[in-house]
Amino acid sequence: MCVFSGWSVSDKIALIICIVAFLQFLALVATWLIMRDTRNRQLRAYLIVTAKGGGFVPQDNARRYKFEFRVVLKNTGQTPAYEVVSNCIARLEQFPLLDNYPFELSPIHEAASSGILGADEQYELTAIADRMYTDEEIVEFKSGPAKRLVAYGTIYYKDAFGVRHYTNFSHSMGWRVDGSVVGSNTKHHNDAD
Domain range list for the chain: 8-43, 45-185
The CB-side HSE value for 2 (13 A sphere, CA atoms) comes to: 5
Q: Is the predicted pLDDT of residue 111 greater than 70, yes or no?
A: no
Least confident among 49-53, 101-105, 189-193: 49-53
Which residue stretches of 44-184 are H helix?
Answer: 135-143
pLDDT at residue number 46: 93
pLDDT at residue number 177: 77
Mean pLDDT, the chain, rounded, equals 89
Residues 89-99: what's their mean pLDDT? 91
How far apart, in whole angstroms, are the C-alpha atoms of residue 78 and residue 182? Answer: 31
75-85 residue pLDDT tens: 999 999 999 99
Q: Is the predicted pLDDT of residue 53 greater than 80, yes or no?
A: no
Helix (H) or strand (E) holding 146: none
Q: Is the predicted pLDDT of residue 138 greater than 80, yes or no?
A: yes
- Would you identify the CATH topology of the domain 45-185? Immunoglobulin-like (2.60.40)
In the chain, the amino acid numbered 54 is G
Query: ∠37-40-76 over CA atoms, to 5°?
Result: 140
In the chain, the amino acid numbered 62 is A
Least confident among 17-21, 40-44, 135-139: 40-44
* Cis status of the peptide bond prior to 102, with omega within 30 of 0: no
* Cis status of the peptide bond prior to 96, with omega within 30 of 0: yes
SS3 124: strand
Residues 33-46: what's their mean pLDDT? 80
- pLDDT band at residue 142 using 50, 70 and 90 as cut-offs: confident
Higher pLDDT, 3 or 154: 154
Beta bridge partner(s), residue 124: 72
Query: For 129, which DSSP code?
Result: B
- pLDDT band at residue 4 using 50, 70 and 90 as cut-offs: low
